Structure 1
Amino acid sequence: MARPTPELIDALRKTARKLANGAPYQWGHMGGCNCGNLAQELTKLNRDQIHRYAMERYGDWNEQVEDYCSTSQMPIDLVINEMLNAGLSLEDLKHLEKLDDRQVLLRFPLEARYLKHNIRDDVVSYMNAWADLLEEQLLSKITLPIIQEMALA
C-alpha cells in the first residue's frame, strides 16, 4: 500500500474531482486512463506527453510497471519514478489500473465492491476511497505533544 503523503492524498482527490467534472477519460489511452490521469496530476505532464512516452515501449500500464527500471532514463520510467516518489508503489499502479486493491475495496459496501476498471464513475469512487484510507493512515501517525502529556498524566 502507498505511503500516505499529503501530496499523494491531494493528487488522488484532485484527479477524482477533475474526472468527476469531465476531464478526458479513456481507459485505453496511456495518458487518459486511471494511472494516466493520476500521472498528469503528479507530474504536471499532459495526457498526450504521457501517452507518447509510454508508446516508446510496449504494453499497457501493467506491462510498463513490470518493465520499470529506476535507472533506465526512458521517459515512461521517469514518469513512474515521479509517481513512486509521491508515495505510490509499483503494486499500487497495477491496482489502480484495475481498481482492485483489497484494502480500498473493503471501504465499499459489499454490493458496491465490484468496480469496473474502465468506468469513469468507478474510478472516481475508487480514488476518493483510497484518498480517505491514506488520510486516515496519515492522521493516525500524528501525535500532538499536548495529547501525549495528557496520556502520561
Structure 2
Amino acid sequence: MARPTPELIHALRVTAQKLKNGTHYQWGHMGGCNCGNLAQELTKLSKDQIHRYAMERYGDWSKQVDDYCSSSQMPIDLIINEMITNGLTIEDLKHLEKLNDREVLLRLPLEKRYLKHNVRDDVVTYLNTWAGLLEDQLLQKIVLPSINDLQPA
C-alpha cells in the first residue's frame, strides 16, 4: 500500500475532483485513464505527453509497470519513478488501473464495492476512498504528547 503523505493524499483528491468536474477521461488512453490522470497531477505532464511516452513501449499501465526499470531512462519509466517517489507502489498502480485494491474496496459499503474500472464516477469514488484510507493511516502515525509529558515552564 502507498506511503501515506499529505502530498499524495492531496494529489488523489485533486485528481478525483478534476475527474468529477469533467476533465478528459478515457480508459484506453494512457494519459487520460485512471493512472494517467493521477500521473498528470503528480508529474505535471499533459495527458498527451504521458500517452506519447507510454507508446514508446508496448502495453497498458499494468504491462508498463511490469516492465518498469528504475534505472531506465525511458520516459514512461521516469513517470512511473516519479509516481513511486510520491509514495505509490507498483501494486498501487496496477490496482488503480483496475480499481481493485482490497483495502480500498473494504471501506465502501458492500453494495458499492463492485466498481467498474472504466467508469469515471467509479474512479472518483475509488480515489476519494483511497485518499481517506491513506489519511487515516497518516493520522494514526501522529502521536501527541500527553499532559504528563509536558514540562512546566
CA 146–58 in structure 1, closer or farther in 2 if over 3 Å, else same: same
Q: Which residue of 2 aligns with 1:17?
A: 17
Q: Which residue of 2 aligns with 1:134?
A: 134
Instruction: Please list every run of at least 4 consecutive aligned residues from structure 1 whose deviation after the TM superposition is greater than 2 angstroms.
Output: 145-150
> Over residues 46-75 of structure 1, what are the superposed CA-to-partner deviations in whole Å (9 max), with x where a residue is unaligned?
000000000000000000000000001100
Q: Which residue of 1 aligns with 2:56?
A: 56
State the TM-score, normalized to the length of structure 1: 0.96
Over the matched positions of the two proteins, sequence identity in percent amounts to 77
Q: How far, CA to CA, are the matches of 1:76 and 1:87 in structure 2?
A: 17
Matched length: 150
Q: Does 1:115 align with 2:115?
A: yes
SS of match in other structure, 2:19: helix
CA 37–3 in structure 1, closer or farther in 2 if over 3 Å, else same: same
CA 54–107 in structure 1, closer or farther in 2 if over 3 Å, else same: same
Alignment of 1:1-150 (within 5 A): 1-146=1-146, 149=149
One-letter amino acid of the counterpart of residue 100, structure 2: D
State the TM-score, normalized to the length of structure 2: 0.96
SS of match in other structure, 1:145: coil
The alignment yields a C-alpha RMSD, in angstroms, of: 1.1
46-55 or 139-148: which moved more?
139-148
Q: Which consecutive residues of structure 1, in runs of 5 or more, have no partner in the other structure?
A: none
Q: How far, CA to CA, are the matches of 2:145 and 2:17 in structure 1?
A: 35
